[in-house]
A = this chain, B = another copy of it.
Amino acid sequence: MSTDAADAFRARTERCRNRLREVGAEALVCFPGRNLQYLTGFAKDPGERHLFLFVPADGDPVLLVPALYEAQVRTETWVEDVRVWGDGDDPLAATRAAIEDLELSDGGRLLVDDRMWARFTQDLRAACPGAEFGLASEALGPLRRRKDARELDALRRAGAVADRALERVRERGAAVVGDTERDLARRIERLLTEAGGESLAFDVIVGSGPNGAMPHHAHGDREIGPGDPVVLDFGARVDGYPSDQTRTVVFEGDPPAAFERVHEAVREAQAAAVAAVEPGVTAAAVDRAAREVIEAAGYGDEFVHRTGHGVGLDVHEEPYIVADNDRTLEPGMVFSVEPGVYLPGEFGVRIEDLVAVTEDGAERLNHTDRGWHP
């Protein structure tokens, strides 16, 4: 791991320790997942083998890993105290030993990863029967909500990857007509890879014609026809951070009668919501800014979802841009602004960019044309 990267991860861990003291917890225990990645740089899906990061409020972090991962964590993380259990060892005994070194006081609070599997929390509970258990988000939530410079840089580059793929899709123009949604989704996957994406941020959405009216539709066998509005919602990860943007495009021919009016309303709503973003404003106010435009256009009942969601190592995380969220925006927060209108059996329109809250407003992370022409 480079010195720069090590410094960034070490600084996050130091902020985490401060938070532990603030909330009165003695230690944090992560297992493979986004919190571990956030603190150490080590990206791994949850798995069957005992692998924990222990972060004491006072003291240096400890990584306990199966032998299989030793070489990887020594090169890919900054953590110096790496303890290894091998094939002949009892992972529970290794866990107990690491817990003992934390010297938790009786009744002391231990925060565990919100997504830690029950089989591992059971082991931790057995190893420290006197502890009170809480969730890691209590300490890490406020940190992960505000992206640091390293995270913003990755999010900008991920946004650029999605933008380039979208431009290449639009360049195909009328040639898209006759493809199935699946064909186009596979093409988008290849374009995202070619543009530098490491992996898909989520299943590519290509919602053509009436399929676009189902916000949860990914892609199917429907053939894209002339005049079909097509909802294109996709993103890719760069340095672990995802992009997430949406455009609604008519590749050839005349769209349905109501389409232009709906598209215009959604586009204005999206612009109004982005314009509302600045520090101190509530998430609810951003949602309201989008909703008011769409309600005024007469489509309030057809805007069936929230205006957006936070984006970081998780594609959906805080802050959620929803009517009842009174959380105020802070510089460094990153979220989607994605109003949509859905006319069942006809078509859907959604326009989405990621935005980062700046010191005095918002920075869009997507920059392609928001119009519906290809």
Does A358 belong to the interface (CB within 8 Å)? no
Does A316 belong to the interface (CB within 8 Å)? yes
Does A352 belong to the interface (CB within 8 Å)? no
* Chain B residues with CB below 8 A from A200, complex form: none
* Chain B residues with CB below 8 A from A118, complex form: 112-116, 118, 121, 133, 135
* Chain B residues with CB below 8 A from A114, complex form: 117-119
Interface size on A, residues (CB 8 A): 19
Does A2 belong to the interface (CB within 8 Å)? no
Give complex CA distance A220, B342 in Å.
41
**Whole-angstrom distance between the Cβ of A187 and the nearest chain B Cβ:** 12
Give complex CA distance A119, B112 in Å.
9
Does A89 belong to the interface (CB within 8 Å)? no
* Chain B residues with CB below 8 A from A48, complex form: 316
Does A3 belong to the interface (CB within 8 Å)? no
Classify the secondary structure of A's interface with B: mixed
Whether the Cβ atoms of A117 and B116 lie closer than 8 Å is: yes
In chain A between 6 and 51, which residues have their CB closer than 8 angstroms to a CB of chain B?
Answer: 46, 48
Does A105 belong to the interface (CB within 8 Å)? no
* Chain B residues with CB below 8 A from A186, complex form: 190
Give complex CA distance A134, B186 in Å.
43
In chain A between 292 and 317, which residues have their CB closer than 8 angstroms to a CB of chain B?
Answer: 316
Q: Which residue of B lies closest to A182 (CB)?
A: B193
Q: Contacting A121 at CB < 8 Å: which of B121, B137, B190?
A: B121
Q: Please give the residue numbers on chain A whose beta carbons come within 8 Å of chain B beta carbons, in ascending order.
A: 46, 48, 112-119, 121-122, 133-135, 137, 186, 190, 316
Q: Can you give 24 A-B contacts (C-beta < 8 A)?
A: A46-B115, A48-B316, A112-B118, A113-B118, A114-B117, A114-B118, A114-B119, A115-B117, A115-B118, A115-B119, A116-B117, A116-B118, A117-B117, A118-B118, A118-B121, A118-B133, A118-B135, A119-B135, A119-B137, A121-B121, A122-B133, A122-B134, A122-B135, A186-B190
A115-B117, A122-B135 are known contacts; what are 4 more A-B pairs with Cβ within 8 Å?
A48-B316, A114-B118, A114-B119, A118-B121
